Amino acid sequence: MHIHILGICGTFMGGIALLARASGHRVTGCDANVYPPMSSQLEAEGIGLIEGYAADQVELKPDLFVVGNAISRGNPLLEAILDQGLPYVSGPQWLAEKVLRDKWVLAVAGTHGKTTTSSLLAWILEHAGLNPGFLIGGVPQDFGVSARLTSSPFFVIEADEYDTAFCDKRSKFVHYRARTAILNNLEFDHADIFSDLAAIETQFHHFVRILPKSGLIVANGHEASLMRVVQRGCWTPVEWFGVAVGWQLGDEAGDGACSVSLAGEEIGCLRLPLAGAHNRANALAALAAARHAGVTPAVSLEALARFGGVRRRLEVRGERRGVTVYDDFAHHPTAIAATIQGLRQRMNGGRILAVLEPRSNTMKLGVMKAQLPGSLEAADLSFCYAANLGWDAAEVLAPLGARARVFEDLDRLVGAVAAAAQAGDHVLVMSNGGFGGIHEKLLARLAAR
């Protein structure tokens, strides 16, 4: 079968393309911006890519068009597909019908930590010899790809609450028919499609309603929002983490290790290469979910100690003149604060220079702008790229005083960061996009000083 994918260079749809190719289909696709690393990953698999959404792509005559959720009415190719009555389906629906139907699906949902937790869970199952398939919104270093298809009954998926497609406004995760579900956390986000937190809680409850009695929910016991979701009706066993009645971590020791207990009984010691309390919580959730799939906590703890990390999650992009440049996907205030805290724990001296692009739809709308100064408080200096924002970033960040600077020109921002950085400093770049290749530009400017 020939499948043509609209929006193929997005992380999720690119993963769909890789899974379709591994299933034996001929795969082509298009996107508004065809660029690495996803374009390189797809081309290496023999997947043909087209720049743009020209209507004449219908002449490729694929058997099926798979439509990503970035595609809206008015898109010329989508309009041609609809006008000509050509067969199409959303990415999540195709995945559910063609890949997940006979799998034990382990789904990781939540506002934050989905990619890291999915990667941790897939790595535990791999270490245990279960050879899982997966589709993750990032690239785990231990696998080198964001998606793979195997003969294993186990499949780990990052379960996004964002809507499915132009034709299906349910959250993606309702399609996946999960058996094991992690509910990591739940805050307000995606202000472009959700009116408030209650609307997102309703989608999470739709997800909970379709989980089987033989399944398991692993949920964050510190989240009142998740408590409300479960209290609306739940027919699946729940194991809470982060609280004494469920899975819990002890205090971190000097060597970074901490004890793991279940219902007050200590069962092992967690040694995680990732920094930050949020990552230890992610690991605890992954351990609990893996146990449901038959992996003992001892094996999981052994795997977690060897975890290689995830690209774009405090990933070191290079060092020049004693200045280290990191890349991170953080774009929500809670994630920004947690990422800065995690880097601070990892460091051995030096300052943190936070470089932020408020690029997500929620951030562009300014819904979370009041929380930004607090989320950046722990950074020594902050630099904000404010091009194309609908609000005054300089005014919002004024509480940080001289520690925050705002730029609408990327080259000027790069120059200012490079001029401010000193040997021993850590430059933390945070964006959910490519940020104009800022990492390479910063490293080049630092080297040329």
Q: Does the structure show a pLDDT above 90 at 226?
A: yes
Residue whose C-alpha is closest to residue 137's, from 167, 166, 107: 107
pLDDT band at 129 (very low <50, low <70, confident <90, very high): very high
pLDDT of residue 145: 87
Mean pLDDT of 22-43: 86
Could you give the C-alpha distances from 130 to 35, 145, 205, 294, in angstroms and in order? 33, 18, 30, 10
Q: Rounded CA gap, 323 and 166, in Å? A: 44
Q: Which region among 133-147, 167-181, 403-417 has the lowest average model confidence (pLDDT)?
A: 133-147
All residues at 6 or more sequence positions from 45 whose CB lies less than 8 Å from its CB, including other chains: 17, 18, 21, 27
Mean pLDDT of 206-233: 96
Structural domains for the chain: 2-90 (3.40.50.720), 100-304 (3.40.1190.10), 315-447 (3.90.190.20)
Contact at 8 Å (CB) between 16 and 5?
A: yes
Mean pLDDT of 277-294: 95
**What is the number of other CB atoms lying within 10 angstroms of the CB of residue 287?**
28
What are 312-331's pLDDT values in tens digits? Answer: 888 899 999 999 999 998 88
Provide the 8-state DSSP code for 174. G
What are 61-95's pLDDT values in tens digits? Answer: 999 999 999 999 999 999 999 999 999 999 999 99
Provide the 8-state DSSP code for 88. E
Q: Rounded CA gap, 30 and 53, in Å? A: 7
Mean pLDDT of 236-244: 94
Peptide bond connecting 37 to the previous residue in cis, omega within 30 degrees of 0: yes
What are φ and ψ of residue 363, in 5° steps?
Answer: -70, -40
Q: Rounded CA gap, 430 and 339, in Å? A: 9
pLDDT band at 335 (very low <50, low <70, confident <90, very high): confident
Sign of CA dihedral 323, 329, 331, 333: negative
pLDDT band at 112 (very low <50, low <70, confident <90, very high): confident
Mean pLDDT of 281-295: 97
Round the average pLDDT of the chain to a whole number and report it. 92
Mean pLDDT of 169-185: 95
What are 252-282's pLDDT values in tens digits? Answer: 776 678 999 999 899 999 999 888 888 999 9
Q: Measured in whole angstroms, how far is the alpha carbon of residue 153 from the centre of its chain?
A: 24
Q: Does the structure show a pLDDT above 90 at 35?
A: no
pLDDT of residue 254: 62
CA angle, 107 as apex, 102 and 109 as ends, to 5°?
Answer: 155
CA angle, 321 as apex, 318 and 327 as ends, to 5°?
Answer: 25
Give the largest Cα separation in the chain, rounded: 65
Q: Does the structure show a pLDDT above 90 at 158?
A: yes
What are 364-383's pLDDT values in tens digits? Answer: 777 788 889 999 999 999 99
pLDDT of residue 166: 93
